[in-house]
Every structure is written in structure tokens, then in C-alpha cells.
Amino acid sequence: QRLKAAVHYTVGCLCEEVEEDKDVQFSKQCIAAISDITFRQCEIFAKDLEMFARHAKRTTVTTEDVKLLARRSNSLLKYITQKSEELASNNMEQKEKKKKKSSTAKGERIPGEQEAVVTENEDSNMA
């Protein structure tokens, strides 16, 4: 029920934006109808996504499932693909940062750094 209310609120806000931009009016019944259709379509999308994952013998919905769902809308598919690639690159950057932090916290050194330390030790032993 809260989710339905959230959809209704969002649709109302979007309709207000369109009203201002296009100089049109939406009745409360129209907004309610759009909200209801939107909610039903989201339920259909959720079931389709579950079925795509199940067909692939997975229990988790992936971005590939979402892309498959959006395949009929070129602009939506392009947007989802772009966002997916952005998220993937951000995740890779985060993993690299975590690796660097954990390796420096453990006292591990970068290969070039190890050679410098060994050279310093040899120099001090020779003196």
C-alpha cells in the first residue's frame, strides 16, 4: 500500500512538471489512472525479470535481465546500458582502492617499493 502511494505521489509530481512545461492540466482521476497503470506495469516488469532470471537458472536478477526487458525501447536500452557500464567502472575503481588500502595496511609493498627498501638496507650494511 505504501509503495502504491509512493508511485501515485511520483506520478503526481511528474504530471505537475508536465503541466508547467506544456501548459496543460491533469485531473485527479487522470493522475490516479496513470498511477494505477504504472503500478500494474511495474508488477508485470517484476514478474518478467523473475522469469528471465529463472530461465537462466539464476535466483538473482541481473543487469542483463533488465536490458532484455528494455529491449523494445531503444532509448531506454541505451540509457540502461550506459548506466550499467558506469556502475561497473565505478565498482572496479572501488575494488582497486580497497586492494591498495588493504595491501598498505598489511604492510605489503609495491614491487618497486620493495627494491628501494632492499637497496637502502644493503647501503647501510656496507657502511
Using a 10 angstrom Cβ sphere, with 0-12 exposed, 13-18 middle and 19 or more buried, the burial of residue 65 is buried
pLDDT per residue as tens digits for the range 80-122: 999 999 999 999 999 888 888 777 766 655 554 444 444 444 4
Q: Which of the four CATH numbers 1.10.3720.10, 1.10.540.10, 1.10.20.10, 3.40.1010.10 does domain 1-58 have?
A: 1.10.20.10
Q: What burial letters (b/e) apply to 114-125, b meaning 16+ CB within 10 Å?
A: eeeeeeeeeeee
CA 71 to chain centre: 18
| Residue ranges covered by each domain of the chain | 1-58, 62-97
Q: pTM for the complete prediction? A: 0.68
The residues, any chain, with a CB within 8 Å of residue 60's CB and separated by 6 or more, are: 53
Residue 66, φ and ψ in degrees, nearest 5: -65, -40
